[in-house]
Structure 1
Amino acid sequence: MKKRIISMGVLLVFSFGVTACGNDSSEKDTKNTASASDTKKEDAKNDGVVARQKYSLNWSDDWKGLKTGITDVSIAKMEKSAMDELGESGEGVIGVKFILNNTAKIDFNTYPDQATLLVDNQQVDASMMGSDSIGGEILAGAKKEGVVAFVIPKLKDVKSIKKLRLKWSANYETSNYEDDSTKDYDITLDLK
C-alpha cells in the first residue's frame, strides 16, 4: 500500500508537461543541462504537492550494449501531512526517469533503483518502496523504464536545486577475469 501511494505521488509529479531537452553525453562525471517546466500551485490541487518543477533531459550512456538513459527529473515539495501519510519524514520527493535497453547478446545486472543521490549537500538513497522495479537483471534484448524516487529531508524551494549527482552500478557475469565486467556510474546532471 505504501509503495502504491508513493508511486502515485511520483506519477503525479511526472504527469505535468515538459518544455525542452538538454545536451547528450555518455561519460562518467558528465554534466548535462536540462530545461525546466514550472507547474503552478493551483495545478497541484489536493495531491499534497506544494510546488513542483520538472526538467527534461537527454542524458545517455552505452556500456557494451547496455544503453541507459535519463529523460526527466521532477522535484516536488510536499505538504507535511502528505509525507506523514506516506510514512516518510522529509520535505520533498525527487523522481528520476530511467530508460534501460539491453542491445547486447549478454545479460546485465544494473541497479539504478538502488542509486545514491547528492542534492544540496544531502546524501539520500533511492526509496525502494517508492521506485519502479527497474533494477536487477536485464536480459539480452530487454527494455525497461521507470521512475526512481528519492525522499529529500530538507527542500526549501523546488527551483533552488540546480544539479544532482547520482551513483549506481552495473555488471555482467564472465569467466574472463581480464574482462572489465563492472561499471560504477557517477554522473552529475545540471538542471536549468
Structure 2
Amino acid sequence: MKKIYILFVAAFVLILGACAESGVSTGGDGNSVESKNTGDKKGAPKKDDGSKLVDATAQTTEAAGLKVNLGEIKISEDRIAVGMNIENTTTDVLTFYPDMGGTVVIGDMQLDANFMYTEGSIGGEIQSGVKKDGVIVFLVSEGKTIDISAVKELKFIFGDVTTSDYMTSEPVNFTVPVQE
C-alpha cells in the first residue's frame, strides 16, 4: 500500500510540474488568477521563447446571459494559451465547459482544449452573479508544430452556454485576427 501511495504522489508531482504557468493575462478585474510571469523569482526577465502574444481584450460576447471576454493569447509552437474571464449576469445557474469541449482552428489545423493544463476555474456551473477567469490551453498533436509567423487568425469554438432548465443553449465563438 505504501508503494502505491508513493507512486501516486510522484505522478501527481510530475503532472503539476508539466502544468507550468502560461504567462497569459485573463483580462480579469481583480478576482483573477493572473499568471503574468514576466521574469524568474529573482526578477530577471525571461528569455524569448519565440512565442507571440496577442491582445484579444477587445473580443467580447454574451451567450444566454453569460458575458465572455478574452484576455491575452499566447501562440507557441506546441500550444495556444488563451486568457478568458466570464460573468453570469442572470439569476439562474448556467453551465459552460470551454476547457473540456473547446477547440481552436488555425488554417487547416484543429487543436482541442486540454483541461489538465487549464489555469484557474473557468468551466462548470456558474452561479448567479459569479465572475470566473482562467487560462485555457490547446495542445498541438504529437509530431506537429505551429508556424507562429504564418498564423493570421484564430477561430475559437468554446462550446455552448446552457441554462439550468436546458431550454436555452447558445454557442460561444470568436475569430481573432493576429497582427504581424
Q: TM-score, normalised by structure 1?
A: 0.67
- 1:5 aligns with one of 17, 34, 39: 17
RMSD: 2.5
Unaligned runs of 5+ in 2: 1-12, 25-34, 40-44
Higher strand share: 1
Q: CA deviation at 1:6?
A: 4.0
Q: CA deviation at 1:142?
A: 0.6
1:107-146 correspondence to structure 2 within 5 Å: 107-114=93-100, 115-132=102-119, 133-146=121-134
CA contact (8 A) 2:106 2:153 kept: yes
CA contact (8 A) 2:61 2:172 kept: no
CA contact (8 A) 2:113 2:136 kept: yes
Q: CA deviation at 1:182?
A: 0.3
CA contact (8 A) 1:107 1:138 kept: yes
Q: 1:60 to 1:190 in 2, by over 3 A?
A: same
- Report the residue type matching 1:93 in the other structure: R
CA deviations on 1:30-70 (whole Å, 9 max, x unpaired) are xxxxxxxxxxxx9437xxxx411101111111234310011
CA deviations on 1:88-107 (whole Å, 9 max, x unpaired) are xxxx1110111011121111
Matched, 1:164 2:154: yes
The aligned residue for residue 103 of structure 1 is 89
SS of residue matched to 1:159: helix
Q: CA deviation at 1:191?
A: 1.2
Unaligned runs of 5+ in 1: 18-41, 78-91
Q: 1:65 to 1:3 in 2, by over 3 A?
A: farther
Cα distance in 1, alignment partners of residues 37 and 149 from structure 2? 18
Q: 1:142 to 1:60 in 2, by over 3 A?
A: same
1:11-50 correspondence to structure 2 within 5 Å: 11=23, 15-16=37-38, 43-44=46-47, 50=49
Q: 1:2 to 1:147 in 2, by over 3 A?
A: farther
- Count of aligned pairs: 146
Q: 1:93 to 1:2 in 2, by over 3 A?
A: farther
Q: Percent identity?
A: 23
CA contact (8 A) 2:75 2:148 kept: yes
Q: CA deviation at 1:16?
A: 4.6
Question: Which deviates the most, 97-106 or 182-191?
Answer: 182-191
Q: CA deviation at 1:113?
A: 0.7
Q: 1:14 to 1:95 in 2, by over 3 A?
A: farther
Cα distance in 2, alignment partners of residues 109 and 164 from structure 1? 24
Q: 1:109 to 1:52 in 2, by over 3 A?
A: same
Q: TM-score, normalised by structure 2?
A: 0.71
